[in-house]
């Protein structure tokens, strides 16, 4: 299994998640991150002071080894043509586990 981690521009989140859903990759974790990329953020005025908005979105997707290449290609195509809109890296996952307490809770939630 592979853990794909992608950092994308916030305006690319909806197209990326829609494309991932379209190929059946729904196990995605989304978090807000702050970074300074190639573009250096956007200029924003707040209370008369100009600063750079450097927010981005971090996606984590757990996929099989076979689906990893498909997912990376999809992220590259939909994630953003501009430099700095997308960064993707992969990590090997030996054995993902779900704690016993959460396994029972997720089974109960999926039935209701």
pLDDT, one tens digit per residue, over 57-94 is 888 988 888 888 888 888 888 877 776 678 888 989 88
Task: Choose which CATH entry (3.30.70.920, 3.40.630.30, 3.30.70.120, 3.40.50.450) describes domain 2-111.
Answer: 3.30.70.120
Average pLDDT across the chain, whole number: 75
- For the chain, the domains span 2-111
Higher pLDDT, 45 or 108: 45
pLDDT value at position 41? 55
For residue 35, the model assigns a pLDDT of 62
pTM above 0.95, yes or no: no
If pLDDT is split at 50, 70 and 90, which confidence band does 39 have? low
With both helix axes pointing from N to C terminus, report the angle between 65-78 and 13-22 in degrees, rounded to the nearest 10.
Answer: 140
Pairwise CA distance, residues 48 & 12, whole Å: 28
């Amino acid at each position: 299994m592979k853990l794909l981690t992608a950092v994308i521009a916030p305006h690319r989140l909806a197209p990326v998640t829609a494309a991932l859903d379209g190929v059946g990759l729904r196990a995605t974790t989304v978090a807000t991150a702050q970074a300074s990329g190639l573009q250096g953020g956007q200029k924003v005025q707040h209370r008369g002071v100009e600063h750079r908005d450097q927010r981005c979105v971090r996606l984590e997707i757990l996929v099989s080894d076979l689906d990893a290449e498909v997912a990376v290609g999809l992220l590259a195509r939909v994630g953003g043509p501009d430099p700095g809109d997308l960064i993707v890296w992969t990590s090997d996952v030996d054995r993902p586990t779900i704690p016993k307490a959460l396994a029972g809770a997720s089974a109960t939630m999926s039935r209701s």
